[in-house]
Amino acid sequence: MSMANERIYNFAAGPSMLPLEVLEQAGSEITNFGGSGMSVMEMSHRSKVYLSIFEETKANFKRLFNVPDTHEILFLGGGATLQFAMVAMNLISRTGKADYAITGSFAKKAYDEAAKHGDVRIAVSTADCNHTRIPTQEELNIRSDASYFYYTANNTIYGTEWKYTPEVPEGVILVSDMSSDILTRPVDISKYGIIFAGAQKNMGPAGVTVAIVDKSITGNALPYTPVMLDYAAMIKGDSMHNTPPCWNIYMLGLVLKWLDKQGGIEGMQAIKHDKAKLLYDFIDNSKLFNCAVVPEARSDMNVVFTTGDADLDKKFAADATKAGMSNLNGHRSVGGMRASIYNAMPTEGVKYLIEFMKKFEQENG
Ligand SMILES: Cc1ncc(COP(=O)(O)O)c(C=O)c1O
């Protein structure tokens, strides 16, 4: 096989690797899905054949992620970023107030978006240590009359994750952006009013955003809210108020079937934790590489590390590309390196990276 046909280990933070068997299945069905004579991309979203894909995907999502009947699963457009506005426009009218944990730049963006609609306050911020840690429950200063409390479960850029579910005062709705860790660990969804995530890390190609919404908290959108941003309207239309991202939902469906074969969420949780541990153990024992994130806050999804020398970090990412690994450079705001090891990154990919790091250390340490 020529190099041009070989797949590489892609450590990108999103869009990210998809399981090979998912891509192959999609490829085999790309011009004619299940004898329908057409691609999923060409089908009416109201057709019987498409509706069966849609319903199956939704049912599998519900079963795999253990979504209770109180909550609706929505397939939306606009990415996670549009949810920053949608959350605020749907929930803040309850008291006019909302509190945010600022543990990274996406949390800050969500906060800025919400601030357009009400009295929004920072419940805690980790900016003073460049977001290398996660706050404790005791640090969360949540107003008892906040409409909701918002946090980013996994901070993609900084490589941290909340290892606990924050507790909120009675009556305060819990909201979380799980873009970079959804479908990687079990979540007690009953504790949340809204969970949302863009698909392009753990779920499929960019273009569909999943929102899991407690039906009882909808119906209070601000009067100027566009209908497309009103959860109540999206629930009423079963994500088909307009044309949904049909093909992306189909791709999510294929990823869910693959996830089932990995032992579902529990199976994936063990796999992803073992993968991350291999990498962190190596970094902690290395003389060249180090990870600035405090051990108790380290993300299993995004592993950030550095040599402490910006030029050497650049050489690392360049040499890694030559060795068949892409996107190992850290986010431009942090520098260093970042290995995003979402669900579809095989354990062999992480082992291959570690072998490369060993060699790089010998040659450059
Ligand atoms: C935690 C988190 N939230 C939000 C976003 C923004 O997602 P989108 O590009 O789908 O709007 C990202 C993207 O990387 C992310 O990692």
Q: What are the extents of the domains in the chain?
A: 25-260, 264-364
Q: Whose CA is nearest to atom 10 of ligand 1?
A: 79
pLDDT digit string, tens, across residues 234-243: 999 999 999 9
Burial class (CB in 10 A: 0-12, 13-18, 19+), 178: buried
Instruction: Determine contact, residues 77/208, Cβ cutoff 8 Å.
Output: yes
Per-residue pLDDT band for 333 (boundaries 50, 70, 90) equals: confident
Ligand 1: residue of 11, 75, 106, 131 to mutate (most ligand atoms within 8 A of CB) is 106
Measure 82 CA to ligand 1 centroid, in angstroms: 10
Residue 2 has pLDDT above 70, yes or no: no
The arithmetic mean of pLDDT across residues 174-195, rounded, is 98
Q: Which fold has domain 25-260?
A: Aspartate Aminotransferase; domain 2 (3.40.640)
The arithmetic mean of pLDDT across residues 151-169, rounded, is 98
Looking at the CA of residue 83, tell me the nearest atom of ligand 1: 11
How far apart CA 108 and CA 100 sit, in angstroms, is: 8
Q: CA torsion 99→107→15→209, rounded to 10°?
A: 20
How far apart CA 316 and CA 320 sit, in angstroms, is: 6
Phi, psi (degrees; rounded to nearest 5) at 284: -65, -25
Provide the angle, in degrees to the nearest 10, between the axes of the packed helices 310-322 and 347-364.
130
Q: Extract the runs of DSSP E, i.e. beta strands, from 77-125.
A: 97-102, 119-125
Counting residues of the chain whose pLDDT is more than 70, the rounded percentage is 99
Ligand 1: residue of 75, 113, 179 to mutate (most ligand atoms within 8 A of CB) is 179
pLDDT of residue 17: 97
Q: What CATH number has the domain spanning 264-364?
A: 3.90.1150.10
Residue 225, phi-psi category: left (phi > 0), alpha (psi -120 to 50), beta (remainder): beta
How far apart CA 59 and CA 252 sit, in angstroms, is: 12
As for ligand 1, residues whose beta carbon falls within 6 Å of it are 13-14, 79-81, 106, 152, 156, 177, 179-180, 198
Looking at the CA of residue 206, tell me the nearest atom of ligand 1: 10
Measure 314 CA to ligand 1 centroid, in angstroms: 25
- Mean pLDDT of all residues belonging to the chain: 97
Q: Whole-model pTM?
A: 0.97
Measure 200 CA to ligand 1 centroid, in angstroms: 9
Q: Hey, do 25-260 and 264-364 end up sharing a CATH topology, with the first three levels equal?
A: no
Instruction: Determine contact, residues 323/356, Cβ cutoff 8 Å.
Output: yes
The SS3 assignment for 115 reads: coil
The arithmetic mean of pLDDT across residues 67-71, rounded, is 98
In a 13 Å sphere around the CA of 150, the CA atoms on its Cβ side amount to: 30
